Amino acid sequence: MSNRLINSLQAIVPLFAALLIFYYLYRDIESEVILEALKGTDLLWFSAAMFIGLLGFWLRAWRWKNLIATNETITVKTIPIFWSLMFGNLVNLIFPRAGEVARCGAVRKTYPIKFGKIFGTVVLERTIDMLFMLFIIALAFLLEGSIFIEIFKNLVSLDAIKGFIVEYFYWALLFFLMLLLMGVFAYQKFKKTAWLGKLRQFARQFVSGLETLIHMENKVGFWVATFSIWIIYFLMMYWMALSIPATHTLSATSVLMVLVMGSIGMIAPVQGGIGTFHAMVAFILLYYGVSEEQGKIFAMLVHTSQIMIVLILGGISFLYLFRKKKVTLNV
């Protein structure tokens, strides 16, 4: 199978799955109903949500810039990093998760920084964001525990989980040991080859990217930015809820649960969380008395507004990076 065919399938299959989910969710909703709901949108709250969403993208770029600039002799500016980030988000709409690699390449087009280090900073910030998401889930559980328990009871069977663990634990352990042995064998066989040397070099660069959090000068700014990003995510969702009549009565803790479910939907390996985000948001809104139809319309509004930002700024980023000249080292 050729690389071109594999790359095409990596884009087409997830997109087909996403569109299938989206069609299944919205097939029974008339366009007139959606338009009528949009007419009732409070433009002030909607505009505020869009603006703070843009601020969130900029803050992510500033935070990433601080990681990339650590231990570098050149001056790294926020603007090129912002456009690199938006370019990566644009690529994610075509190839799921490929945007993380693409934004590293975009930074390399502007700054002579090792790719392995840049990729290490991406993994680092993604790991930190995942930990913060787990913290948000825990906070939502403390504040809305009854909803969590109700969902768990409706969707999960403890007996089924126990049976699955008992049945497949030893097979999973055996599979892990086999992979470990194969890895050791492959290392012994190929440890003196040239490509392994390149892999070691990349690994060293990657580790240097992970270590930027330790050596970074503005640690306080980094953590303040990280907290602020998640506060912005919440405010954006809350203000979007205030802009729609069907959701404007939701409490702050209810919106926090919507944020949690939406974030989980965005993790799915499909382009931009299409379909999965909508399904998760509409699902949780049912527990707060919002009709299935109105929940789906709210999810569409939130998701589409973010996709439009990515498409517009991602397109601009492509033009910016295409014309941008690479910074050179003064030696």
% pLDDT > 90, the chain:
43
Residue ranges of domains in the chain: 33-323
State mean pLDDT over 118-147.
90
pLDDT tens digits for 69-86?
888 888 899 999 999 999
Map residue 144 onto helix, strand or coil.
coil
pLDDT tens digits for 262-289?
998 888 877 788 888 999 999 999 999 9
Please report the pLDDT score of residue 305 as a whole number.
92
Burial class (CB in 10 A: 0-12, 13-18, 19+), 45: middle
Please report the pLDDT score of residue 309 as a whole number.
93
Please report the pLDDT score of residue 193 as a whole number.
61
Tokens for 251?
A: 């409490």
State mean pLDDT over 313-322.
89
Contact assessment for residue 212 and residue 70, using Cβ atoms and an 8 Å cutoff: yes
Please report the pLDDT score of residue 308 as a whole number.
93
State mean pLDDT over 170-176.
72
Segment among 34-43, 141-150, 208-217 with least mean pLDDT: 208-217
Top-confidence residue, 111 or 14: 111
Contact assessment for residue 217 and residue 70, using Cβ atoms and an 8 Å cutoff: yes
Instruction: Give the chain's mean pLDDT.
Output: 84
Please report the pLDDT score of residue 196 as a whole number.
58
3-state class percentages of the chain: helix first, strand second, coil last, to nearest 5 = 80, 0, 20
Please report the pLDDT score of residue 211 as a whole number.
74
Task: Supply the DSSP symbol for 287.
Answer: T
The torsion angle over the Cα atoms of residues 50, 84, 276 and 311, rounded to 10 degrees, is 60
Instruction: State the CB neighbour count (10 A cutoff) for residue 283.
Output: 17
pLDDT tens digits for 184-218?
666 666 665 655 556 666 667 667 667 777 878 88
Q: Sorting pLDDT into bands at 50, 70 and 90, what band is 225? A: very high
Q: Sorting pLDDT into bands at 50, 70 and 90, what band is 314? A: very high
Containing 27, the helix (H) or strand (E) segment is none
Map residue 135 onto helix, strand or coil.
helix
Q: Sorting pLDDT into bands at 50, 70 and 90, what band is 331? A: very low
State mean pLDDT over 301-314.
93
Does residue 148 register a pLDDT over 90? Answer: no
Top-confidence residue, 228 or 29: 228
- 3-state per-residue secondary structure call for 240-266: HHHHCCCCCCCCHHHHHHHHHHHHHHH
